[in-house]
Amino acid sequence: MQGRVEWTGGKNMVGINSNGQSIEMNWDDGPSPMQLTLQMVGACSIVDVVVGLKERDFSKVWVEMDSTRNDESPRYFTSMHFVYHVEGNVPQKLVERVVHKSHEKYCSVSNSLRDDCKITSEVVIHQPKS
């Protein structure tokens, strides 16, 4: 994996991957590198949830995230809490198991965090809208 980050003036940067795709960042007003890191943990684990539920009847998946960071520099994440929402006819225990396995084993982003970052989660199942 390769990429590049360029400062584009002020507090702005652009990250460019090896395919030429880019994402703009701003270290004060966001999306900041830390905001993107939190979102990428969510995105990475949503991939695991969707793949893990591939044979189930669901229509929507989203995750709400909250985090805390160290008070002093370096301001690393000390905890992350994720609330996973799935709309569909899926067993709650199955989604909980998939989420647990995601953070334990499969999500490369959450497994790249410090070992002392506590990750917790909960699952909310929403019945399909008629």
Return the pLDDT at 78: 98
Return the pLDDT at 30: 87
Distance CA 96, CA 83 (A): 11
Q: Where are the domains of the chain?
A: 1-29, 32-126
Distance CA 113, CA 31 (A): 19
Return the pLDDT at 117: 97
Distance CA 25, CA 45 (A): 22
Residue segments in the chain with a per-residue pLDDT below the cut of 70: 130
Return the pLDDT at 129: 79
Domain over 32-126 is classified CATH 3.30.300.20: yes
Residue pair 19/9 in contact by the 8 Å Cβ criterion: no
Looking at the DSSP bridge assignments, the partners of residue 90 are none
Distance CA 90, CA 55 (A): 10
Pairing state between β 57-69 and 22-26: unpaired
The residue with tokens 């008629």 is 130
Distance CA 82, CA 2 (A): 29
Going 35 to 41 to 42 to 47, the CA torsion angle's sign is positive
Return the pLDDT at 91: 95
